[in-house]
Structure 1
């Protein structure tokens, strides 16, 4: 098992369809490749970057989000910013509130600083696969940090504006902060930013791993009101700055964002249709959130006799890497798998053929 889920193992396995990391594997815009090559030829890798990131990139990110008056700090991937938020603000945080399913690392980061962590269960139709203000009201206390993934990795649900407004009001009333993890925002329809509703208390995290496919270059950002962001940047987690080559590529990507996103989103939608059709026709499981607002789909396999990890192993035997729900849900993880869809359509078709060949469920097995 250890070798099967090792990324190094997978990197050394030619021909694998990478459909388990939610990263983009399409051919990138030529402008992005040119920026990387120019930076490399100029030996910029021998230099430290500005501690907060290039000013042009920071301005482009704020413009992309449509949050005038906010400030951006460039981080080593969005996760680098999340780690710093959870540790640098730990002394002022009474509790971190997250979801199950969700992304486990912020809770672990906060736990390093002995901050209590509360988890709100959101799996299933009862809550629309997202945290409600009512659930939050039962958990929140003064000075909490609310970790809100939107669209929600791993399910693909997103919050409506009125739902965010109710959550923001609770945060304001209790003097709590919101971390709005918008990693998948570029794939979503009708997305709202919490910072529009609660600008003084929202930290928005931003990633280049998903929509632009710069996962291995490790580049992201935290965006917030200048007074709030200064609580993080007074002592940044990396005072020597994020990857210069990645920043050059990100600047180039943001400048050609329109046509690139049109192609990326169209491919993602088409691949999701292929995956959904394969699941529907197979009799094995059902798509949890449809349409998904991310570049992934969660498939519930709870009625079957095989666990999520068993199904993932069976597909990996056919050189298709998807992720078991156990990575992102202690409570529900055996019931679903997650499939990334911002990939070459050939990979989606390979997945569909392999999924269709899996045995149909024989019983609950539970």
Structure 2
């Protein structure tokens, strides 16, 4: 089998494992609001799937996204998920010889998109206590050069869970503007943050905001998101989008319903997430050699460092897989620092978090005894 077949078969097995506890992909498994389910059922019953949606998205959804962000003067282009927005932006803005700057760790796929069009990628390491697990704007200022075209900032950071302060965002925006570059502000995890500051409010002309419904609303499998930017930038992106016949109308109906009930439903999701994070943090603190370096996390996940124990993150992942619990090894995010940690997603039912925490001592011992390279993705 080719590598892509092996990788796909791995995830196909996960998807078809009934009862799998998904603690590895930052997906939200909170029980959906009835209005969201009703919107999808109604869309199917009305057979709206026969028609194409508007090319840049249903107007109610575009307006709802801007309202949720508080960016009324910007424009939204609805996409088949935030990752498609990133693909489209990278392929539209970057050319061979351009430079794309991001952090290490970061969300990896945009680097692949940049390299696919011939741009070079520069990563600024932020892992470790010496960097406080965050991007120092001064280090970004030093990294930016004459070829820098795009700075990609995942904020809150995936996988670390750190979020930029207002002064940090101000300095980052200033540095990008001085370079005449674009800032892609990936706000996929914004809704989970204790505090979040939108770069687009400071630099509306040069900031491209990435919006996702996969995480806060739990619509990962429906593939619905958006890119938000100045109308001139959206005009350029709308000229040749990957989904020029419109994104799934069923997904858009679900997203519109989700925005309408967000204030009623999401606070409960946030409370459950933070309770789960506290539960797992307490379990980690009981095991010498394990630690949670970023707490509280501004994402719907926690990083657990296991390097001091001398166990491979992949071995811990494999141990939990034996109990049909999926967590993520650090190497998925960063080959440089991946041997130091695992990531655990916690916007999940309380019972899943409790099972993970209760198994942790046994899984550490299991990883110690096996501690061999495991094929994980």
State if a TM-score over 0.5 links the two structures: yes
1:309 aligns with 2:276: no
Cα deviation 1:28-66 (Å, max 9, x = unaligned)? 000000000000111112211111000110000000001
Aligned to 2:63: 59
Q: Is the 8 A contact 2:35 2:257 kept in 1?
A: yes
Secondary structure in structure 2 of the residue aligned to 1:88: helix
Mean CA deviation greater in 295-304 or 90-99: 90-99
Aligned to 1:39: 43
Kindly report which structure 2 residues correspond to 1:128-147, keeping only aligned pairs within 5 A, or say none: 128-142=132-146, 143-147=148-152
**Equivalent-residue separation in structure 2 for 1:240 and 1:182 (angstroms):** 25
Aligned to 2:131: 127
TM-fit CA distance, 1:93: 7.5
Secondary structure in structure 1 of the residue aligned to 2:152: strand
Cα deviation 1:299-337 (Å, max 9, x = unaligned)? 111111211111100111111100001010110011100
Kindly report which structure 2 residues correspond to 1:152-167, keeping only aligned pairs within 5 A, or say none: 152-167=157-172
Secondary structure in structure 2 of the residue aligned to 1:303: helix
**Equivalent-residue separation in structure 2 for 1:234 and 1:288 (angstroms):** 44
Cα deviation 1:261-300 (Å, max 9, x = unaligned)? 1111001001101111111112241012100000000011
Q: Number of residue pairs matched?
A: 365
Cα deviation 1:155-175 (Å, max 9, x = unaligned)? 100000100110110111110
Q: 1:56 to 1:123 in 2, by over 3 A?
A: same
Secondary structure in structure 1 of the residue aligned to 2:307: coil
TM-fit CA distance, 1:356: 2.3
**Equivalent-residue separation in structure 2 for 1:86 and 1:112 (angstroms):** 9
Q: Is the 8 A contact 1:100 1:330 kept in 2?
A: no
Unaligned 5+ segments in structure 1 are none
Aligned to 1:97: 101
Compute the RMSD of aligned alpha carbons: 2.0
Aligned to 2:374: none
TM-fit CA distance, 1:4: 10
Aligned to 1:80: 84
Q: Is the 8 A contact 2:95 2:118 kept in 1?
A: no
TM-fit CA distance, 1:186: 0.5
TM, length-normalised to structure 1: 0.96
Moved over 4 A (4+): 1-5
Q: 1:164 to 1:93 in 2, by over 3 A?
A: farther
**Equivalent-residue separation in structure 2 for 1:33 and 1:52 (angstroms):** 23
Aligned to 1:194: 199
1:352 aligns with 2:372: no
* Match among 273, 279, 296 for residue 268 of structure 1: 273
Q: Is the 8 A contact 1:62 1:68 kept in 2?
A: yes
Unaligned 5+ segments in structure 2 are 372-377
Secondary structure in structure 1 of the residue aligned to 2:115: helix
Aligned to 1:19: 23
TM-fit CA distance, 1:135: 1.3
Q: Is the 8 A contact 2:36 2:255 kept in 1?
A: yes
Q: 1:92 to 1:4 in 2, by over 3 A?
A: closer
Cα deviation 1:161-211 (Å, max 9, x = unaligned)? 100110110111110100000000000011000111111100000000000
1:252 aligns with 2:291: no
Secondary structure in structure 2 of the residue aligned to 1:178: strand
TM-fit CA distance, 1:246: 0.5
